[in-house]
Amino acid sequence: MEINGRTRTCGLIGNPVEHTLSPVIHNTLAERFGHNLVYVPFPVEAGRIGEAVAGASALQILGLNVTVPYKGEVIPCLREVDSLAASIGAVNTLVPVQGGFKGYNTDMEGLYRAMMTEGIRIAEEEIILLGAGGASRAVAYLCAVKGANRVFLLNRTLEKAQNVADEVNRAAKRQVIFPMALADFGSLPDRKFLAIQGTSVGLAPHVDDVVIDDKRFYKKVHTGFDLIYSPWETRFMKLVKENGGHAYNGLKMLLYQGIIAYELWNGVKVSEGDADAVYEKLKEHFV
């Protein structure tokens, strides 16, 4: 692609950002659509997120993604916030509006699309969700609005799980999230579950770590979905498979959250053919 006076810029703000695969997604899509844009990472120092957003607006940046640790911190810097992002309390995509940016959360719809492509359903499902941090909070909200039957939220600290459950149940206007201490997994109902691994445990380079290391737990899992995509196969995934379940990593979630952001910035619809082509590019970094 030729960079010239009409080239638009998109990018990622966070700290750190050096590891990101998002440029693969957006620059591949730009090439396939023939859009004159480039996507680059922008590291932002602690305490300077407001300056970064204001500067991006002044520079007429076409769009930004937001990653840790700024998904919540960025919200006061925005002109508008989409209702879903406001409910979750996290923004990962900024779209220009008059006088600044509007914040969206494409992570959860990205996760939902990723699950749908693998034939994984949420509606009427019995789900185990590991962790009560920011990512798991958003997943809990997704499960509630997409019609999960029950979600057992397991966390090392029961109080934190209880806080997330109370918040999501209030927003959903029904009792769907049930908090449990991680150590009490043995009291889960005797049935098979969809298990979603929503913590950073097992993320490279700590590839041998896992939240629960007990085959009795994995015997209860028919499908495991790990939000982590590096390594390609986490220990959580291996344990699910060793005990008869199916397991998937978070690379397709990364793919589809990026696709939704690209669609918002450019007013286009990305076909499944284009999505598949980008996914193959992403996989080159792992397999």
The residues assigned a catalytic role are 71
Given a contact cutoff of 8 angstroms between Cβ atoms, the answer to whether 210 and 235 are in contact is yes
CA distance 147 to 134: 21
β-pairing verdict for 93-97 and 126-130: unpaired
CA distances from 239 to 20, 125, 132, 188 (A): 27, 21, 21, 18
N- to C-terminal Cα separation, the chain:
27
> In this structure, what DSSP letter does residue 89 have?
T
Longest dimension (CA), the chain: 63
CA distance 139 to 142: 5
Given a contact cutoff of 8 angstroms between Cβ atoms, the answer to whether 146 and 112 are in contact is yes
Sign of CA dihedral 274, 276, 278, 281: negative
User: Is 87 strand, coil or helix?
Assistant: helix
Which residues have C-beta within 8 Å of that of residue 115, sequence separation ≥ 6? 121, 122, 225
